[in-house]
Structure 1
Amino acid sequence: MRELLRELVLADAPPGRENEVREIVIRELEPLVDELHVDTLGNVIGTRTGRTEKTIMLIAHQDEDWALLLTYISNEGYLRFNRLIGHRWNILGQRITIHGQQGKTPGVVGLSAPHIIPLNEYQQGYEPDFDKMFIDCGAQSAEEARAMGLEIGQYVTAEKHLQELTNERLLGNCFDDRVGLVAMIETFRRIRSETLPMRVVGVASVQEELGTRGAGPAAFGVEPDFVIALDVSPTGDHPNIKAGLVPARLGDGPVLLKADQFHVTSPLMNSWIITVAEQHGLSLQEVALRAPIHFGTDAAAVEVVKSGSKATSLLVPTRYFHTTNELIQYSDLEATVHLLVECIRSLDQLGE
C-alpha cells in the first residue's frame, strides 16, 4: 500500500489531464474486479458483482489539488499563467513541471530576491498579484519557448515529492486525493476472494477539483443506491486554527463527514458506518463542517443524479492540502481501509 501511494503521489494528474494516474488505477484495479471500463470523460469504473443488483459505489478522484494553466508567452520567454486549483499563497518560488508538446519541461515560478523588492513593499508584506507572477523555464525568447513545445493552454503541476517524517507521518504532494484512490484500490484487493451481498463499484473520477465534474456522469452510468466518497479532511490540530472549527486530528482515524458546505450526508449511511466501527472497535471521527470552511466532495454531486442515492463521505485527515506540501499519518489511511473493508463485509446490515 505504501508503494502504491508513493507511485500515485509522484505521478502528475492536473484536472482534465489525469492520464498518468488513470493508467496506474487501471493496472491495479482491473485484476480485482469482474468488469472495468473507462468512460468518455476518463472516469475509471470497476465492478464486482454481488448476490443482488443493489449497488454501493466507492468514489475517489484522480485529479490533484494544485495546478496552473499557461496563458501567455512573453517576448523574453517568460510564461504567464492562471491558477486552476491550489492555495494562492503557495505559488511563488515553486519548482514546477510544464506538460508540453515534447514532454515535461521543468521550471520555477519566479520570485525576486528580497534585496531588489522596493523597501516599502517588502515591509508591508510583499505579495504580487497573479498578473505579475511568471514562470521561468530557461527560455530566452518566445521562439525558444515554442521550440521547446510550450504553448498557451498547457497544464503546469508542482514538482512531486514524498518523504517519511517521524511518528508514521508522511509529507508530500496531492494526498488529495491519492489517499482516497489507495483506500479504494486496497479495499477491493482485500475483498477480491469474498462473495459480496450486493454489487460494489469503484470509481476513480476526474475533474473533482474543477467542481466535481466527473462524478455526475459516472453515477449516471452506475446508478448506485449507496455511495461513499473517499477523500481528505481538513484538520484543526495545528497552530492558527480557531478552537472547535475543525475537530478532526491526525492519528485519530478516518473522518465521517456528516455535513459540509454543499451537502448534508445520509443519516442512514452514517449510522451504518458508525455501527460497523463500534462492532469492530475501530476509531472514527464524526465531523460536521460549517462556514467559513469551504469544502466538499464528490458525494454531493453523485447523490442527485437520476433518481438519487444515499451518499456520505469517509475522509483521511490531512494537513495543508491544496498546497505543495501536505501531511498525513499513515495509520489513518490504514484505519480507513480497515473500516471500509468491514463495511463492505457488513452490507447486509445496510437498510433502505
Structure 2
Amino acid sequence: MSLINARIVLASRPTGPVSPHNFRLESVELSPLAEGQVRVRNDYLSLDPYMRGRMNESKSYAASQPLDEVMIGGTVGEVIESRNDHFPVGCQVVGMGGWQQYFTVDAKERGVLQKVDTTHIPLSAYLGPVGMPGVTAWYGLHRIIEPKAGQTIVVSAASGAVGSVVGQLAKAAGCRAVGIAGGPDKCSYVTGELGFDACIDYREHPDARSLSQALKAACPQGIDGHFENVGGVILDAVLSRANAFSRVALCGMIAGYDGQPIPLAAPQLLLVNRMRVEGFIVSEHMEVWPQALKELGGLVATGRLKYRETIAQGLSAAPEAFIGLLKGQNFGKQLVKLHP
C-alpha cells in the first residue's frame, strides 16, 4: 500500500507579517523508490528565522522559496525504505527534509543525508546545538569575534537556539558573557541555567538610549565582541558601548524580517572604533563543520552545553509555531514533532 505524505507548501508570499494563509497543507501519494533513493520518516522539523527571508521574492543570499513547493527546513528522522546500501532501514539521519512527514531523496548525491548517533546525543539535538544553530554560534564566535579571555561578549536573542550556544562557548573561552533577551523568564534562564554573567531584558528598554545605559552597567569594561541576531535598536545600543577594535558577527536581523527599514542611528561609530563587522552564512563555511560538530557533540553528550526546546505537536502546527518564533514566543530551539 502506498504511503500518503502530508506536506506544507508556500501558497503565497507575505506582505508584512507572516500569516497562516501564506501556507497550504496538502496530502500526496508517494511513488515507489528508484535505485539509490532513500525514504525518511521525518520525526522532527526545525523552524528557523532564516526561513522568513526565503519566503520573499527579493534578492538575498539564497534562492527564494518557490511557491507551491514544500517549505524548506532541516529535519531528523529514520530511514523506513532504502535502495541505497549506505543508508539501511532503521538508521537515523539529518537532512533538509522540509515541512513534510516523509522525505524521499537520491542518497547518491553527497551531503544530502548524514547519519547521526543517538547513543549519547538526543535525535532532536542534531537540529539545535549539534546542528546548524550550534555551528552558526561556533563559527560567528570563533572565526569572527575571536574571543580572548577577559573580554566582554554581548549576545542578542540570548535564550534562542543560536544565542544560548554563543554565550556558553564565550564563557568556556574565559569571557564575560552578557545576554539580551525578552522577558524576565528568559533572562533568568540565561543567567541561572546557561551561566551568562548578566542578561538585559530589552522589553524594559524600548529605545537605544535606555538600552545603552543598561549595557553600560552590565559591561563596565565596554564591549569587545557582539553576536547579532536582531539588529535595529539593539545594534544601535551595542555600537554606543563598543570598544576600539571590537568585532560584530552579523548572523541575523530579525527586526527587519517583515520588510521594515532598520537604519543605523550612528554608523560613524564603526569608523571611530575601527570596528570589524562581518555578516556570514554558515552553509558557506562547510570546512569548519566537522570540527565544530565534534566539539559541540562532546559538550552536549557530557552535559556541559545546556539547551532548551519548544516543541509544537503535528505538522499542521508548524505555521503558527513559525509565526510565534518570529515574535519571540519560543523558548530555546523551536521544533515540530511530526509523528506521535
Q: Same fold (TM over 0.5)?
A: no
- Give the alignment's TM-score, normalised by structure 2: 0.26
- Give the alignment's TM-score, normalised by structure 1: 0.25
Q: Which has the higher contact order (CA 8 A, sep 6+)?
A: 1
